[in-house]
Amino acid sequence: MNEQVPVTQDAAIPAAKPVKAMPDAQIVKSVKHWTDRLFSFRVTRPASLRFRSGEFVMIGLMGDPDPKTGKQKPLLRAYSIASPSWDEELEFYSIKVQDGPLTSKLQHIQPGDELILRPKPVGTLVHDALLPGKRVYFFATGTGIAPFASLIRDPETYEKFDEVILTHTCREVAELEYGRQLVESLEEDPLIGEMIEGKLKYYPTTTREESPVMGRITEHLKSGELFERLGVPPLNPETDRAMICGSMGLNKDITAILEESGMREGANSEPKEFVVEKAFVG
C-alpha cells in the first residue's frame, strides 16, 4: 500500500525499507453503523475465494505491537459472510464490544483501510447440510442474522424451498433495522425479486423494547403463535427444515424444540432436518 519514494544517488538519506504488506489483506469499501452496538461493512473479495452462502471466514486486524519484541500478531475471529456467494464484494455484520480484543478496533475501520481475511470458508449453515424439504426456517438472534442475510439473497434458496421463513429476535427495535431493510430491498432486487414473491416471510421480535411482536422466538414456537401469525402448519419433520444461529441459549432451546418435533441435527457429511452454527461469535 505504501509506495517507496526513490532517492537519488546524491541524497544523503538512505532508501527506506519496503513496508511489509499485511498478510491476506483486503480493502474496506464501506462501513455503516446501525446503532451504537451494531455495524456492517463491505470489503474487497479475493479473486480466488469461493464459498457457499451461509459459510464463515476468519477476519481481523493486526494487534498492538508487543512491548518487548515490537512484533504484531493478527487478531482473528470467525465472521459469517452476510453477502451471497455471487456478490463481487464481501459483507459482514458485527457487534461492537468496547473492551473486545478485536471489535474494539474493528468498529473504527474506515473505507480504504486494510483488513485481514483468511480465504478458507467453512460452516454448517449451508444447503448441503439439509435434506430436501418444502419449508425452511432461519432462526437468528442479534448478529446471528448474518449467514441468513447471505442465504435469503441466494437464488438457490428459493429453488430448493417453497417457503423461506426468517425470524430475527433482538432486544430493541433499532437492532432489527439491518434485517428489515435487507428484506424490504429484496422486493426490488433484479436477481431474486420475482423469486421471493410469496415465498419469503420475515418474523422480527423484540425482547425488551415494545414492538408489534414481542417475546423470545422460543415462546412463539411453543405457543404456536408463530405458525398462527404466518399462516403455516406446526413443525413437521417430513416437510420442514431449519438453521439456527445465535446465542448459546437460543441454539440449545430451539434445538430442543426441533428435536421434540422429530427433527434431527445434521451436518455437511450427514444432511438431516436442521443444523446449528456453533462457531457463531457476537
Residue 10 has pLDDT above 50, yes or no: no
What's the pLDDT band for 65 if we cut at 50, 70, 90? Answer: confident
Residue 4 in grid coordinates: 517507496
Q: Whole-angstrom Cα distance, residue 183 to residue 203?
A: 11
**Per-residue cell: 35:** 446503532
20-56 residue pLDDT tens: 456 689 999 999 999 999 999 999 999 999 999 999 9
Domain residue spans of the chain: 25-122, 127-276
Class of domain 127-276: alpha beta
Interval 51-76 mean pLDDT: 89
pLDDT exceeds cutoff 50 at 80: yes
Cα-Cα-Cα-Cα dihedral of 23, 24, 27, 30, to 10°? -120
As beta bridge partners, residue 44 has 89
Q: What is the pLDDT of residue 144?
A: 96
| pLDDT grade for 13, boundaries at 50, 70 and 90 | very low
| Averaged confidence pLDDT in the chain | 90
Residue at grid coordinates 486486524 = 61
CATH architecture of 25-122: Beta Barrel (2.40)
E strands, 160-280, in order: 163-170, 200-206, 240-245, 274-276
